Amino acid sequence: MQSRPRQAALDPDQLLARGRRVLETEVAAVTALQERLGTGFVEACRLLHNCTGRVVVTGMGKSGHIGNKISATLASTGTPAFFLHPAEASHGDIGMLTHDDVVIAISNSGETAELLTILPVIKRLGIALIAMTGRPQSTLGKAAAAVLDVSVAEEACPHNLAPTASTTATLAMGDALAVAVLEARGFSEHDFARSHPGGTLGRRLLLHVEDVMRTGDQIPMVGSDASLRDGLLEITRKGLGMTAIVDAERHVLGIYTDGDLRRALDQPIDFRTRRMGELMTPNPKTIAPRRLAAEAVHLMETHRITQLLVVDERNVLVGALNVHDLFRAGVM
């Protein structure tokens, strides 16, 4: 039985040196792309911007993994896109393509057999082709309407074989395309949020105050003639750490909070005879129900408060919320 060769001990200095060498190689590969951006990049952006169908990204092996990410980036930034495996395309999936689509084909050599097999179909359908390749004069490059040169001087692999710097450069070029087209479309953070409803940004930009506020019987409120005792009971029942003071039509007159009570305990006070109208803080901070929940967060942080009353355009109380509601909603 053949024994395994002994592994050399890991030298921390050597490991760090190798890691830095890889990063330096990949930084150089990405930096070199800047000088190559020209008419090909502009034409590629134009094709993506004017695409009335979908952008179909395709590539084999490591190029395919990068293509998957590029298609996901495009889709999340306002350009409908999906990834098509070129080998599967030859066995029926080519039917996903339509005349209105744009294809981005990725191949470092530009001679990937699976891609060249489907080129005639792409041409026959009259689909615009963008090539991302390390060899612009390759078969793929010559067939494309726009060529993006993603060649690298060397791979980060010590044998100059494993796709490393070349895949990094291709990924960076894909990001450059997506962002350039994003800005040309006027794609806003609100558009981005609609594509990411489950993310933090989506919650910040899509959730409104009315989505998280307490309503109906959950709203703490008493009249101005209510005793302090009744006000404290209302605060306890509703669990928001405060109560609104309203008139007969529910117009907000003021607010009374747990903090007000703590400050009042420094002096003698009759809980049964003192009226909420005497003790409340008048003209409290309020917010409208259709304002973004993120605006409620900003208002609380700016004024160092933990509760907000929600009012309509006539200053009628329609809801209430506190910092815990915003935490539960994932806005904070």
* Same domain, yes or no: 32 and 172: yes
Q: Which of 187, 217, 242 lies at the terminal end of a domain, its last residue?
A: 187
Q: Which residue is it, tokens 């490991």? A: 15
How far is Cα of residue 4 from the mean position of the Cα atoms in its chain?
48
The closest alpha carbon to 170, from 53, 49, 51, 71, belongs to 71
* Same domain, yes or no: 33 and 91: yes
Question: Is 301 a member of any domain?
Answer: yes
Say which CATH number the domain at 74 has.
Answer: 3.40.50.10490
Question: Is 243 a member of any domain?
Answer: yes
The closest alpha carbon to 122, from 93, 147, 149, belongs to 93
* Same domain, yes or no: 172 and 33: yes
Domain hosting 127: range is 20-187
CB 9 within 8 A of CB 151: no
Residue, of 323 and 1, whose pLDDT is higher? 323
* Residue 191 pLDDT exceeds 70: no
Q: What is the pLDDT of residues 28-75, one digit of tens each?
A: 999 999 999 999 999 999 999 999 999 999 999 999 999 999 999 999
Q: Hey, which bits of 214-294 come out as E strands?
A: 221-223, 242-246, 252-257, 281-282, 286-287
b (16+ CB within 10 A) / e for 251-279: ebbbbbbeebbeeeeeeeeeeeeebbbeb
Predicted local confidence at residue 217, as pLDDT: 94
Q: What is the pLDDT of residues 133-186, one digit of tens each?
A: 999 999 999 999 999 999 999 999 888 888 999 999 999 999 999 999 998 988
* Residue 192 pLDDT exceeds 70: no
Q: What is the pLDDT of residues 205-225, one digit of tens each?
A: 678 899 999 999 999 999 999
* Residues linked to residue 287 through DSSP beta bridges, in sequence order: 310
* Same domain, yes or no: 96 and 153: yes
3-state secondary structure of 310: strand
Question: Is 176 a member of any domain?
Answer: yes
Query: Average of pLDDT values for 68-84?
Result: 92
Q: What is the mean pLDDT of the chain?
A: 90
* Residues 2, 9, 20: CA angle, nearest 5 degrees: 120
Residues 6+ apart with CB under 8 A from 141: 110, 131, 133, 135, 147
Domains identified in the chain, total number: 2
* Same domain, yes or no: 55 and 169: yes
* Same domain, yes or no: 168 and 231: no
CB 213 within 8 A of CB 310: yes
Q: Which of 119, 153, 187 lies at the terminal end of a domain, its last residue?
A: 187
> Per-residue DSSP letters for 121-150?
HHHHTT-EEEEEES-TTSHHHHH-SEEEE-
Predicted local confidence at residue 248, as pLDDT: 94
* Same domain, yes or no: 25 and 159: yes
Q: Which of 157, 187, 217 lies at the terminal end of a domain, its last residue?
A: 187
**Strand order across the beta sheet in which 221-223 lies:** 221-223, 242-246, 252-257, 281-282
CB 146 within 8 A of CB 48: no
* Same domain, yes or no: 228 and 182: no
* Same domain, yes or no: 96 and 33: yes
Question: Strand 128-133 and strand 221-223: pairing?
Answer: unpaired
* Same domain, yes or no: 129 and 67: yes
Predicted local confidence at residue 28, as pLDDT: 96
The whole-model pTM stands at 0.66
CB 318 within 8 A of CB 312: yes
Question: Is 13 a member of any domain?
Answer: no
Predicted local confidence at residue 265, as pLDDT: 74
